[in-house]
A and B are shown apart, each in its own frame.
Chain A
Amino acid sequence: MPSHAKALPGPFRAMSRILRRATDLTMVFAGVALALMTVHVVADVTARVVFNSPIPGTLEIVAFYYMVAAIVFPAGYLERRDEHITVELFYGRLSPFGQRVCYVFSGLLTSVFFSIFAYQSWLDALKATATREMVMGAAQIEIWPARYVLPVSFALLVLVALLNVARVFLRPLEDPANKDSTADVD
């Protein structure tokens, strides 16, 4: 941290703190889902192989609850830590100013794309709720609540991306890429 950097404005710090907590929380959800999924699948295998009686509905619960929570919830966390898979080759050769321009452009495009996604998945979630959407498998399971994970996670991602863009303007001298953008805000 350069010593001449001005303190970040209060509202920005507050927003950083909120988004850090929110993304941490979704990460906890994802982690719990992942652990439950592992245990559930192993229990199902054991029940099937040893006792020849699988746990009904495992497939559906794994696909529509555990998987959704485990791999969609971390979206905001991913953005916060800049863990997206990117091509670094050309970026690495740009001047610091060029890098900031790319970073801001990329952040804005990311926000637009995931806003569209969040909006559409929100509409889909409302529709699924209205029809009490379920899957027919070995067991009938209502899956509409899982639909809400998508808009919530993608909206969080958009907020974090916008925060990161704002940070480039507030701290034009620091390299924005490949780090946790909320790490130094207390």
Chain B
Amino acid sequence: MSNVEIGFIGLGVLLLLLAVRVPIAVALGSVSFVGIAVLTSSRAAWGILSAVPFNFLGDWSLSAIPMFLLMGFVASRAGLTDGLYKAMRVVFGPVPGGLAVSSVGACALFAAASGSSVATSAAMARIAVPEMLRYRYEPGLACGVIASAGTLGSLIPPSILLVIFGIFAQVSIGELFMAGFLPGLLSAVMFAAMIMVRVKLKPSLAPPLDERPSREEMMQAFRELWMLPVLVLGVLGGIFVGLFTPTEAGAVGAVLALLLAVIRGTASWEGIRQAIVETAISSTAIFVIAIGAVLFMRFMALSGVPDQLSAAMLSVTDNQILILLQVALVYLLLGMFIDSIGIMLLTLPIMLPLVSGADINLVWFGIIVIKLLEIGLVTPPVGLNVYVIKSALGNAVSLSAIFRGVMWFIVADLITLGLLILFPQISLYLPSLM
């Protein structure tokens, strides 16, 4: 049997193991261990197993993951994100589909702080959806907006997915953060524009609010709204001007979030404890998969599967945009079954050799991959974010209604994706200033 054949068999076994709910970390690791042993020798396999985890831990960039997770969990556990929706509503309430547009704004800010799409959707579903339903918004719109706008967390920095991409692609995480900013903003604007156009054309989707915010409410909204932008811009600004590394930015962000919570009067020991436990669990879950992915990268490289695939793809076309479209198809398909961190770590060992072969800018590629992963979070049949909302709301809205509502947002996202592919400057302008 040739090496490439062994590689493809390994891929097949991997997918089989994933299907029977073997943890992604274990599936990647055990397939790679056996695969490397078959391709070379069991001695080499043990050797790689011994070298990988501890050396990987020594990678300074890796420490950005727990730090940014901590910042996000502290921000939400300490109540910084509590008043966001109400405050946004004062600002965007009067526009067509005001509550839905407010949700986009609140999700974008929440996502920026938390870095996690699923956390954003879960929190916002409980706050915003009941409000929208009370004002007789169409249920598909009410749920769709939260499911979709929740995904903004993957792109708007600081984002955990960008950190992971940076580590594996060996691209500067600071540059990736800067690159994600405008595309994240663009996605949010596209969502808001799509909602307003739809509501203008069909006002019954979202009856207008009959309330005008008082002066008092506006002041209150302002008091809520300054904190998260200060936190996010402080963290990003520090990276942008080169004051600190991403890891340091995360640590500073976590402490800053805590200070803001103290000012706001909502900090508690119990909240801090929960934030730390959640951070440790998430970091470890990511770490074990990442180890599996490093092993898998070695296995794939030895087997020659990525070379084979990239040769096949390049023989069809060497046009960068067409290659990206093929890549996009793969991610959209996988996104239907697997969550984003999993897909990222599963595919990078194969995708990275491919795109560097085609001479594609890795920062730009990273942003496009993340955008694709975002779309994958809401596409049926899995659409993780849709299920998160469903489970947060119980029986109030049917699953198919949510998926129908999400469709419009997927259309908006595909337009954004097209713009990102056609105009690399949207992603690459800010990093070029660093």
Interface, chain A (partner B; CB < 8 A): 27, 30-31, 34-35, 37-39, 41-42, 44-45, 49, 59, 62-64, 66-68, 70-75, 77-78, 81, 83-91, 102-103, 105-106, 109-110, 112-114, 116-117, 120-121, 123-124, 135, 147, 150, 177
Contact = CB atoms under 8 A, between A and B. Distances in A.
Contacts of B25: 84-85
Interface in B18-63: 18-26, 29-30, 33, 46, 49-50, 53-54, 57-60, 62-63
A81 B280 CA distance: 13
B284 interface: yes
Contacts of B284: 30, 71-75, 77-78
B141 interface: no
> Which of B18, B23, B70, B279 is packed against the most chain A CB atoms within 10 Å?
B23
Given A59-B60, A121-B50, 15 more contacts: A27-B277, A30-B280, A35-B276, A63-B62, A67-B62, A68-B54, A71-B287, A74-B280, A86-B24, A87-B24, A110-B26, A112-B30, A113-B33, A120-B49, A121-B54
Interface of B: 17-26, 29-30, 33, 46, 49-50, 53-54, 57-60, 62-63, 65-67, 70, 243-244, 247-248, 251-252, 254-255, 273, 276-277, 279-281, 283-289, 337-339, 341-342, 381-382
Contacts of A102: 20-21
B21 A86 contact: yes
B20 A106 contact: yes
B70 A34 contact: yes
Contacts of B244: 45, 49
27 contacts: A30-B284, A34-B279, A37-B66, A37-B67, A41-B63, A41-B247, A41-B251, A63-B62, A67-B63, A67-B66, A71-B65, A74-B283, A85-B24, A86-B23, A87-B18, A87-B19, A87-B24, A87-B338, A88-B21, A91-B19, A106-B22, A113-B26, A113-B30, A113-B33, A116-B33, A120-B49, A123-B50
A55 B257 CA distance: 23
Contacts of B17: 109
B30 A121 contact: no
A83 B50 contact: no
Contact of B285 (A64, A85, A117): A85
Contact of B342 (A87, A105, A106, A112): A87
Contacts of A84: 23-26, 285, 288
Given A74-B284, A77-B281, A106-B26, A67 B54 contact: no
A75 B26 contact: no
A78 B281 contact: yes
Contact of B248 (A31, A41, A72, A150): A41
Contacts of A39: 255
A63 B58 contact: yes
A81 B287 CA distance: 16
Contact of B60 (A63, A114, A116, A121): A63
A37 B283 CA distance: 14
A70 B66 contact: yes
A81 B285 CA distance: 11
A68 B20 CA distance: 30
B242 to A, nearest CB: 11
B259 to A, nearest CB: 11
B60 A124 contact: no
A133 to B, nearest CB: 10
Contacts of B24: 84-87
B342 A62 contact: no
A96 B283 CA distance: 31
B23 A31 contact: no
Contact of B22 (A45, A64, A110): A110
A95 to B, nearest CB: 13
A160 to B, nearest CB: 13
Contacts of B53: 117, 121, 150
A42 B250 CA distance: 9
B56 to A, nearest CB: 10
A85 B341 contact: yes
A86 B273 CA distance: 26
A71 to B, nearest CB: 4
